A and B are shown apart, each in its own frame.
Chain A
Amino acid sequence: MQERVERATKASRAFALVAAPVLVALVALPWWSDAGWMRLIAEMAYYLALAQLWNLLAGYAGLVSVGQQAYVGLGGYALFYLTGAQNMNVYLALAIAGPFAGLIAIPVSFAVFRLRGAYFAVGTWVMSEVFALSASLIAVLGAGSGLSLTPAILRQISPDRGGRDAILYLMSLAISVAVCAIVYLLLRSRHGLALTAIRDSEPASASLGVNTFRTKFIIYVATAACTGLIGALIFLQKLRISPEAGFSINDWTVVVIFMVVIGGIGTIEGPFIGMLVYIILRELLADYGTYYLILMGMIAIAVMLKAPSGIWGWVVQRYDVQLFPVGRRLVLAPPQMSEP
């Protein structure tokens, strides 16, 4: 009997066919749309990336961090400091911001990995507060009021406003696609299998030879680095950074967690859906102050109580569909006809 291991599903092939032209249209956006749309799509792009990263950390590696905003801020501050006080080229600074955040994550992990579960979560939060407070005390980082990007730095990207908007937009899109691709490929690989095993049962997977500490450590540091790069890009577009904005738990963590939880934690499709839900809710309720956050809080609670796997989890249970298949299915070939 012939057997083969299949990765793709019917739905995923259909999805790929639909997704490709959409992606092309998005890439071409600067030529057929305006700055307002570019800004919105860029925002959706980097929120999606942050959500995928948090999902990887919490939904797969079991590291529920409430402190990822630390790396957003660290990446942002690295960019501003290097381009400002150190007069570095903006692209070079961007390239360094990510690895810098990853480097900081190493000693941080030594502290926070001593804690587990919800205590780990609060511990990561404390770390973020430490960075925020430190930033507000360091003069060269602008102390409490923060730093701004000079026009000279912005001109390094492009001499005119339109070109700059387009380039920043395309970079956001590229980062988002790259992060989604990396997460997807990682989860498809045997490392992804290890992660799923760790998520399901850490002692069991350790007894099977999975090096749980090293895996979690690598995921934590890599996620921090990617988050740092995204943070740098976010603040490059915002033009200024301050301790409150850079390390804001509300902007970078609360919203991201809601996206992942409502969309479906532990799935790649989930963050997409959660991000769309968030953006739609926010735009719809824009005139009502922070009521949309209260509503999101209630939805998140309802989802956790009634449908803990989120919207996408519910869809999977109902319709057994996967758009980003990470599993493996054994397909048996039909038996040969035998001669009497």
Chain B
Amino acid sequence: MSLLATNNLSAFYGDFQALFGINVSVAQGETVAIIGANGAGKTTFLRAVAGALPTKPDMVMFDGQPIGHRTPHEVVRLGIAMVPEGRRLFPSLSVEENLLLGGHSERKGPWNLRRVYELFPRLRELRHLPAPALSGGQQQMAAMGRALMANPRLLLCDELSLGLAPVVIRDIYQCLGAITADGTTVVLVEQDINRALDASVRFYCFQEGRLALSAPTKNFDRSAITAAYFGL
């Protein structure tokens, strides 16, 4: 049975429909990528899963339970954590305070401050600095650490590579590898197609709020992806 399954997921911003009947399923321990152009609905999808966008209860099933109607903080307690697009660290808090805040829901699990600093040693050196003082890559690591502190069963990563240099992106994705090696399930939204496909076993391609293509990543023909990406 899948850990996460969306059934005909439709979502609206007021009168504007952003998602049209999306069917996605993610099994325990998998890393699944969601790719698509700007405005395809990728972030909207993550927000709907995280509870930030209200949907019908059955449209999002987590571990067999309907969660579409749940509020974001309830969803965190159930075991889903988000690394938001653009990092969104809290500027008034230090790095360590940001991490501690991630643990606000007090879920039990393998992740704590010490383990996060083991994964991201650079963060320990910077831990008392205010979050805005960090570089883009360091902030991204802090945002990931903050999400891990919630001991999630499912980690949602929105645009990890946004605004970062290739060398930094490579480091980030190496850390992601260490996280998934532990068995954490990951849904990865990315504009950088190659990174996304290299890191995942299956992928979904969104196009204007609809599912255009879904397949295993191994040996998949990239030109077919391009066609789906742009709606050709």
Are chains A and B touching in the complex at the 8 Å CB cutoff?
Answer: no
Q: Which residues of B contact A (CB under 8 A)?
A: none
Q: Which residues of A contact B (CB under 8 A)?
A: none
